[in-house]
Amino acid sequence: MLRFFRHIRKSLMEQNKVRTYLLYAIGEILLVVIGILIALQVNNWNENRIALNQEQQTVAALHSEFSDNLKELKFDIARLDTTIHNMEVLMDLTLLDEIPDETNIDSLISLSLTNPTWNPSSYVLNDLKNSGSISRLSNSELQSKLFAWERHFENLNELVDIFKISTYEMIRFLRDESSLRDIDSYAGIGNIQPSKIGFNNKELLENLRFENYVDDKLITAYQLRNEYLESITIIEDLLTTIRI
């Protein structure tokens, strides 16, 4: 092809057709430029196609991650409900003048000390965040909702920390004011038997500090449950926005 073009140029020069030669030269340059532009456009198409495929894979992984986290969240809310129920029973018992003999205070306290908190996987989301890829997503609505989720999750984690602290404070109190061994015998960890020391944990129901610790954790648990329910709403909305 190049030999063909050189032959044409040589022929035009030999015939002293300068004007025709210049027009031909300009045309040849235009052909080269057009060829380069086409090559660049094809390259851009390929890069865009690769980027789109990568985004589709990432979005699919994000959908899977949030779907799995949603299932775990619903399971953990059910666990939290059990903890809340046992604390509510304890609070009701503090109002009674006489505690029924069949009431197992140790079991109620043991179940009230559980910390059923949600620990979602965030590998895909963190990868998007750390690489700055959220702002490059083609779905602007998804961008906004992911940023909103990050803000919500930060607030949620702060409440989870408060919930855990309320449990630790309650345990510190029980360590000094009750038989932890009796309580731990219902925890299902190891083979701990009730204590032979004659302390009845029913006395805790008349202890104002105990009532305050249970009340503090119960109120925090209510707040946490509400935040978890809001998390479900946000995640379900996210999943409808993520198109796979």
Check pLDDT > 80 for residue 42: no
**DSSP assignment, residue 192?**
P
Q: Among candidates 109, 115, 111, which has minimal Cα distance to 199?
A: 109
Residue 108 in domain: yes
Which has more confidence, 222 or 195? 222
CA distances from 61 to 34, 69, 122, 191 (A): 40, 12, 11, 43
Phi-psi region of 190 (alpha: psi -120 to 50; beta: other; left: phi over 0): left
Question: pTM for the whole thing?
Answer: 0.78
Report whether 63 contacts 242 (CB < 8 A): yes
* Residue 129 domain-assigned (yes or no): yes
For 135, which DSSP code? G
Residue 236 lies in a domain: yes
Of the candidate ranges 32-41, 53-62, 141-150, 170-179, the one whose mean pLDDT is the lowest: 32-41
Q: Tell me what the mean pLDDT of segment 64-78 comes to.
A: 97
Domain membership of residue 114 (yes or no) is yes
Tokens of 94: 């503090």
- Is 50 part of a structural domain of the chain? no
Does residue 209 lie in a domain region?
A: yes
Residue 162 lies in a domain: yes
* Amino acid found at 10: K
Token reading at 93: 């018992």
For residue 195, give its domain range. 64-241
Q: State the total domains in the chain.
A: 1
**For residue 195, which of 174, 167, 219 has the smallest C-alpha distance?**
174
Tens digits of residue pLDDT in 141-191? 999 999 999 999 999 999 999 999 999 999 999 999 888 888 888 777 777
Residue-level pLDDT at 12: 47
Interval 94-135: pLDDT, tens: 998 888 776 788 889 999 999 999 999 999 999 988 888 888
Query: If you average pLDDT over residues 222-228, what whole number do you get?
Result: 98
Contacts of 155 (CB under 8 A, 6+ apart): 227
In a domain, 14, yes or no: no
- Tokens in use for 49? 């196609």
| Rounded Cα–Cα distance for residues 96 and 211 (Å) | 13
Rg (CA), the chain: 35
Lookup: tokens for 22: 């210049």
Average confidence score pLDDT of the chain: 84
Residue 206 DSSP class? G
